[in-house]
A and B are shown apart, each in its own frame.
Chain A
């Protein structure tokens, strides 16, 4: 068991190093650099800028230097924002992204799973059909449409929510939370429903009924624990993705989150930021997957004891 986790952690570290390397070289190979301007910059200035940031060294030396700094959790400095390190940018953007993300994730778990269960239990009823209609809508309508509708109705027409920013306390998080949760909430509801329907057909559910257990126990003990396994698989990476911010939603609601920095850094060839954010995102993602695996082994003894 212990060995299994040590192995998992080591392979996670290897994955992070590979991701950082690949991102580094991709950023190096696309044309243009952080100091490319429409206006021609004198070669001497360019040279001294490159020298200052160590960009005049051979590529492999730059790579070595970058990786060595990375191992000390130093993601470098931004080429755009004066005197700002990438670590500082993450520290600045992540709390907002994470706050909205945690709210959205809670909404997904606390609403998506229950409505999926209800839908499965009331299969082919009016409730089931309307829930699944809404869920299909939620999966297909992009989040910027949802975000725009929220702003139009709740902020514009009815004046319940602020249009943008985080200056108005808890209320300012409601819009982004719903816009960010929409897709995944619908997806989780659908996934829970189909997984639950699948499990309810299993022999052991029939056995539980044949043993005279109450319908409540049959469903919320025997069926639910099994039905949650696929849902959990989806939730881990989803939570990682949501917590690290969505560019679109943050842009529409003008939130000072991480998504904005990330997208801008790519267009600016601000590669320290791009790689830094990518690595941060990857680490986060891998940790979530690790957590899912641990949760798995708690739910499903076959995984825990087989290894």
Chain B
């Protein structure tokens, strides 16, 4: 197995609103290894974006990382540093350099009043010793790499002169400008039309291979996960419901929520099948339900599900599921295979 570069442990992030504490992320843990593309999937409000912003330490007032640790290894020496404990200046050395991020809406994510060149060069110069000419050369080279047709001429354009897809490419070019070890892509294709979506995902995969970075890909679209991810974390109600390799999650899902997601997306096969939505709505994170957050919508909910939160059951070496059905005392439900030696 390749090297671990990120270890998130018992992360809790909350927002303090005038209505009370919104527990956006509740005690989640996951690891990321070099070269992996980890897809975090979940519906709106499941905590996936907050998770990614926490990794960047970009949670802003009134939000706060309440507990847990985010340990990241910025170089090959395995010197892990805890991002939650860094000062503002320290973290700004890491951001854009070792960990970069691209955002959902490329239309608003670039500053409208500065040229693309200006915005790229300032990031390159912040993290490297290149002089201005070299930084510009590097920026042009990057734009070429991400598929901007005429980097020489277009680098002096303003963001509004670029189309959505081109802006996202420019954002990616900026994000990879300092060869990060980790790229966080928060719904990078959601605001783009489908053909562009596929191109952007292709581009991310290509770059991932080329500069050997890892990617955290946040999305609500299982199709995107299937296309790009190697590993998957399924989030619901601020918690991780299930995690595993992309094969595990698609071929052998072991959580009712993951199965619900699969049933609710259309397939391109010949047979006409009705889509089955997951009834109900996501939990209110101001006052999350006791027990498993999915219990009010779960077709297999048992009494214990409303009383106590299940632990993360290990299904296999690569897969785990946070569901009482995995417990040895749980009744047998068709399709759910309890792991051997479950306790």
Interface residues of A (CB under 8 A from B): 202-204, 206-215, 217, 221-222, 225-226, 299-302, 305
- Whether B110 lies near A207 (C-beta < 8 A) is yes
Which 6 pairs, one residue from A and one from B, show the smallest C-beta to C-beta distance? Answer: A212-B96, A212-B95, A211-B96, A203-B108, A204-B111, A210-B101
Using known A-B contacts A203-B109, A299-B113, determine if residue A212 contacts B103 with beta carbons closer than 8 Å. no
- Whether B92 lies near A214 (C-beta < 8 A) is yes
A212 to B158, CA, bound (A): 21
Q: Which residues of B contact A212 (CB under 8 A)?
A: 92-97, 123, 126-127
- 13 chain-A/chain-B pairs, Cβ below 8 angstroms: A204-B110, A206-B103, A210-B96, A210-B100, A210-B101, A211-B174, A212-B95, A215-B88, A215-B92, A221-B122, A226-B111, A300-B113, A301-B113
Q: Does B112 contact A (CB under 8 A)?
A: yes
- Whether B127 lies near A209 (C-beta < 8 A) is no
Of the candidates B94, B100, B112, B127, which one forms a contact with A204 in the assembled complex, judged by CB atoms under 8 Å apart?
Answer: B112
- Whether B95 lies near A210 (C-beta < 8 A) is yes
Output the least CB separation between A218 and chain B (Å).
9
Residue of B nearest to A218 (CB): B92
Interface residues of B (CB under 8 A from A): 56, 58, 88-89, 92-97, 100-101, 103, 105, 108-115, 122-123, 126-127, 158, 160-161, 171, 174-175
- Whether B113 lies near A209 (C-beta < 8 A) is no
- Whether A203 lies near B103 (C-beta < 8 A) is yes
A47 to B191, CA, bound (A): 78
Output the least CB separation between B304 and chain A (Å).
41
A217 to B118, CA, bound (A): 13
A202 to B174, CA, bound (A): 18
Q: Which residues of A contact B92 (CB under 8 A)?
A: 209, 212-215
Using known A-B contacts A202-B108, A203-B109, A299-B113, determine if residue A210 contacts B58 with beta carbons closer than 8 Å. yes
Residue of A nearest to B106 (CB): A203
Q: Which residues of A contact B93 (CB under 8 A)?
A: 212
Q: Which residues of A contact B127 (CB under 8 A)?
A: 212
B95, B101, B111, B127 — most chain A CB neighbours (10 Å):
B111
Output the least CB separation between B167 and chain A (Å).
11
A301 to B101, CA, bound (A): 26
A214 to B91, CA, bound (A): 10
Residue of B nearest to A208 (CB): B111
Residue of B nearest to A215 (CB): B88
- Whether B113 lies near A211 (C-beta < 8 A) is no
Q: Which residues of B contact A213 (CB under 8 A)?
A: 92, 96, 122-123, 126
A212 to B92, CA, bound (A): 4
Q: Which residues of B contact A208 (CB under 8 A)?
A: 111
- Whether B112 lies near A300 (C-beta < 8 A) is yes
Of the candidates B108, B110, B113, B161, which one forms a contact with A225 in the assembled complex, judged by CB atoms under 8 Å apart?
Answer: B113
Residue of A nearest to B122 (CB): A213
Using known A-B contacts A212-B96, A301-B158, determine if residue A203 contacts B126 with beta carbons closer than 8 Å. no
A213 to B58, CA, bound (A): 13
Output the least CB separation between A301 and chain B (Å).
5
Q: Which residues of A contact B95 (CB under 8 A)?
A: 209-212
Residue of A nearest to B112 (CB): A302
Q: Which residues of A contact B175 (CB under 8 A)?
A: 211
Of the candidates B56, B103, B122, which one forms a contact with A217 in the assembled complex, judged by CB atoms under 8 Å apart?
Answer: B122
Give 6 A-B pairs besides A212-B123, A214-B89, A305-B158 with Cβ atoms closer than 8 angstroms. Answer: A204-B110, A207-B109, A210-B56, A212-B126, A222-B114, A226-B113
Residue of A nearest to B127 (CB): A212
- Whether A203 lies near B113 (C-beta < 8 A) is no
Q: Which residues of A contact B123 (CB under 8 A)?
A: 211-213
B58, B93, B100, B114 — most chain A CB neighbours (10 Å):
B114
Residue of B nearest to A205 (CB): B111
Residue of B nearest to A202 (CB): B108
Q: Which residues of B contact A302 (CB under 8 A)?
A: 112, 158, 160
Q: Which residues of B contact A214 (CB under 8 A)?
A: 89, 92, 126
- Whether A222 lies near B111 (C-beta < 8 A) is yes
Residue of A nearest to B124 (CB): A211
Output the least CB separation between B177 and chain A (Å).
9
Q: Which residues of A contact B56 (CB under 8 A)?
A: 210
Q: Which residues of A contact B88 (CB under 8 A)?
A: 215
- Whether A204 lies near B109 (C-beta < 8 A) is yes
Output the least CB separation between B14 and chain A (Å).
19
- Whether A301 lies near B160 (C-beta < 8 A) is yes
Q: Which residues of A contact B89 (CB under 8 A)?
A: 214
A204, A210, A213 — most chain B CB neighbours (10 Å):
A210
A249 to B213, CA, bound (A): 67
Q: Which residues of B contact A221 (CB under 8 A)?
A: 122
Residue of B nearest to A200 (CB): B60
- Whether A226 lies near B112 (C-beta < 8 A) is yes
Of the candidates A211, A215, A301, which one forms a contact with B126 in the assembled complex, judged by CB atoms under 8 Å apart?
Answer: A211
A268 to B112, CA, bound (A): 53
Output the least CB separation between A196 and chain B (Å).
15
Q: Which residues of B contact A210 (CB under 8 A)?
A: 56, 58, 95-96, 100-101, 103
A209 to B93, CA, bound (A): 11
- Whether B105 lies near A203 (C-beta < 8 A) is yes
Output the least CB separation between A294 and chain B (Å).
16
A213 to B94, CA, bound (A): 10
A286 to B105, CA, bound (A): 39
A141 to B67, CA, bound (A): 49
A202 to B103, CA, bound (A): 12
Output the least CB separation between B87 and chain A (Å).
11
A215 to B58, CA, bound (A): 13
Q: Which residues of A contact B174 (CB under 8 A)?
A: 211
